[in-house]
Amino acid sequence: MQVILHTGVHCTDEDRLLKCLLRNAEAWRHEGVAIPGPSKYRKLLGDSINMLKGTEPSAETREILLDAIIQDDPGKIDRLVLSNDNFFSVPKLMFQNGLLYLKAEARLQTLVNIFDGDEVELYMGLRDPATFLPAAFAATPHDSFGAFMAGVDPMHLRWSDLIRRIRDALPQVPITLWCNEDTPLIWGQIIREMAGIEMTRKISGAFDLFAQIIDKEGMKRFRAFLAENPGINERQKRRVMAAFLDKYAMDEEIEQDVDLPGWDAAYIDMLTEIYEDDLETIARMPGVTLITP
């Protein structure tokens, strides 16, 4: 069985990805793709991993979990899709001991141990630290940004460090990544990749995020264009979407205000530049797929 784990990161799709997957779950159910609701597994799986604390799970652990998570016969499931942006940690502990997602490798290793013999794959959206850090801080009870960062300098934050740690600890686990900033343009591909279906297959909600950042007139014209040109491929479709965004984007939905002491325009631009350089490093990592528009 393939076990697809989506781990956020925090403050990216805000569970919209899972909701879109669930809208299509029944259509894929009879093809061996299981997409359970989060109440079926988030607490259960989290409690199981916490209880094991790095020890080897019993031979029955996998079967017990699958019986609780999947409504159908687990033997008929080829692909299980799970999503939890708190899998690595809750937001307030994001920089525990001065390291981004300190327990990421250990928790993922325990999941791999539980599903011994299955193929575990990791899916994760990344976000520009210039907007990610303020948003993540706002999701915590911390009174100060410094307390939230636990000594980590934002200028030294690299997503590639986290990915490298995971790859070093679990080289057998393929990792698929994308940029949150690109998500409206590649939403359909992310959904299809996670479900393991063909890129040409129609799905419900393929343009959910795109519709949130483009005005009603633009979305109406875009859908009319698709109806008139049903044969265009995914890459052509993205070029058309980018063109429509240039003309019909709602600036208030795209622009993100950052309000932290000492974070002027130059500082924010530098964080974004570092992020873009870091993405080039990530794209060259073995075992890592970076989805781009």
**Residue 9 preceded by cis peptide, ω within 30:** yes
Q: Supply the pLDDT for residue 254.
A: 65
C-beta separation of 70 from 82 below 8 A: no
Give φ, ψ of 178 to 5 degrees.
-155, 165
pLDDT at 214: 93
Which residue, 154, 46, 43, 168, is CA-closest to 95? 154
Q: For 238-260, how does the pLDDT look when each residue is reduced to its tens digit (9 = 90+)?
A: 999 999 999 999 876 666 778 89
Question: pLDDT tens, 91-101?
Answer: 999 999 999 99
Question: What are the tens digits of pLDDT across the range 19-29?
Answer: 999 999 999 99
User: pLDDT tens for residues 263-284?
Assistant: 999 999 999 999 999 999 999 9
Q: What is the DSSP string of 49-109?
A: HHHHTTSPPPTTHHHHHHHHH-SS-GGG-SEEEEE-TTSS--GGGTTGGGSTTTTHHHHHH
Can you give the pLDDT at residue 258? Answer: 82
pTM confidence score: 0.94
With a cut of 90, say whether residue 74 has pLDDT above it.
no
